[in-house]
Amino acid sequence: MRNNNNYIDFHCHPSLKPFGKSFNAQPVGENTADRRRKKSIWYYDPPSVFDKILNYISGLTKFSQSNFTALTLGGVSTVCVSLYPLEKWFIRNRMKNELILDLASNFALGIGAKRVDHIQGIKDYFEDLVLQYEYYRQLDGKVFRISGNKVRYKLVKNYEDIKRYREEEPASKIRTIAVIISIEGLHVLNTGLGKTPTEAEVLQNIDTIKNWEFKPFFVTVAHHFWNYICGHAPSLTGIILKYTDQEEGLGEGFTSLGKKVLMRMLDNTDGRRILPDIKHMSINARKEYYDMLDNGGNDFKDIPVIVSHGACNGLHSFEDPTPVYQETAAVLNPVTINFFDEELVRIARSGGIIGLQLDERRIANKQTLKNTKKSVKRHKIMHYRSELLWNQIRHILTVLDSREIFAWDCMAIGSDFDGIIDSLNGFWTAEELPFLADFLERHAYNFMENVSLKLPENRIDADEIIQRIFSENGDRFLSRYYH
């Protein structure tokens, strides 16, 4: 049965696995309309019992989480898809044995051995980016039938497009998922390949992206490895960290080239501005960016702070990394890739947005995960695991309410489905988003019954809280900034 919730997801990777599988045959990058084939973005691949057990034990996610069939069944109506040429340093790493290296990468990501081979020898990230962009364009507007309903995705250029497709739905009887292009990591400009990038090429590439028919709404500036644009925060854990070296550029600020790229992105000549997403930036890069926002003049005026997929760390500020709100902070993961309380205040005051990600390793610390109750009953698993996300929401409310700031218009969902994440157990794919909404509403109801709040406006009904986070806040944000 199709779901009509009109959810918005600010960050996921529907193409990562099927685009990878398209490398198994010529021509590469073909997004086939045959939904039974693994290289189709509509290929439906719900997790088997074995997949779930593997994920539970190892954190590896081989199944597809955000294919367009799952997005349809989960009631997602607008999605910010992240174009992401996988960095070669995931695969060209400390593991010396080629066979082990291939198997481990393929197993961890489910992208296919041929794609792994391609990334190992990649010489041009920008070419790969363009191929991914074209992959989405191939099935743009193609109508499919899912559970008896006509559905399609449409690439959009602005909020007006989204609005028009919504208004056309009743007459056309075609459910449309609006697809907003975004990019994760400015290594896509063809940097970060172990050699000093060519400034002219990098600036030409950003200009080319700005002139795409469907230009990105926002770009995550940093990612997992040094991109010669700005420093990144530590982001890898477990087996991947054991065999991968993130050290180069870790914690650095913006380079002179990075500042030029940022200015090109924000240049709004002809209305072609691309907004920066601060996820993955190092503390120093974030400090520098905030200073630009505060003191950079007209170019930086009225820029919303965007976190497409993130979490709070429970700590007060860069200068004072201690928890102020001990009760809510104690269960969070106090790492620098997550956001400090002062940053939450900045996001809210800028009219910005934080897409809450669904990665257990990010949203909770190890002790919290260890203490989370276990069960073999599905509804109990969902109750216990959804509380991990509720803890994030509760902390944001606590921080903003203490400053007498309205807390309920800056939070959204940025699932990071099909990124390299360990998703909340029980909420494996986009298809389970309605269940996540239901369980979060229960937590919200129980909490709001007894909480004492400074700002009266922050006392709203549980169902409105969830409606705002899953749909309304994102819609309002897009209507304001996506032009």
For 258-272, what is each residue's pLDDT tens digit? Answer: 999 999 999 998 899
> What's the CA gap between 226 and 246, in Å, rounded?
8
| Cβ atoms of residues 154 and 179 within 8 Å | yes
Residue 72 neighbours by CB under 8 Å, 6+ apart: 2, 3, 146, 149, 151, 175, 177
Report helix, strand or coil for 209.
helix
Q: What is the pLDDT of residues 32-81, one digit of tens each?
A: 999 999 999 999 999 998 888 877 777 778 899 999 999 999 999 999 99
Q: What is the pLDDT of residues 264-301, one digit of tens each?
A: 999 998 899 999 999 999 999 999 999 999 999 888 99
Angle at the Cα of 62 (from 40 to 104), degrees rounded to 5? 115
Report helix, strand or coil for 331.
coil
User: What does pTM read for this prediction?
Assistant: 0.96
Residue 73 neighbours by CB under 8 Å, 6+ apart: 2, 3, 146, 147, 430, 431
> What's the CA gap between 364 and 423, in Å, rounded?
12
Residue 32 neighbours by CB under 8 Å, 6+ apart: 39, 40
Q: What is the pLDDT of residues 116-163, one digit of tens each?
A: 889 989 999 999 999 999 999 999 999 999 999 999 999 999 999 999
CA pseudo-torsion sign 104, 107, 110, 114: positive
> What's the CA gap between 386 and 327, in Å, rounded?
18
Angle at the Cα of 279 (from 466 to 476), degrees rounded to 5? 40
The radius of gyration computed from the CA coordinates of the chain, to the nearest angstrom, equals 21
Report helix, strand or coil for 154.
strand
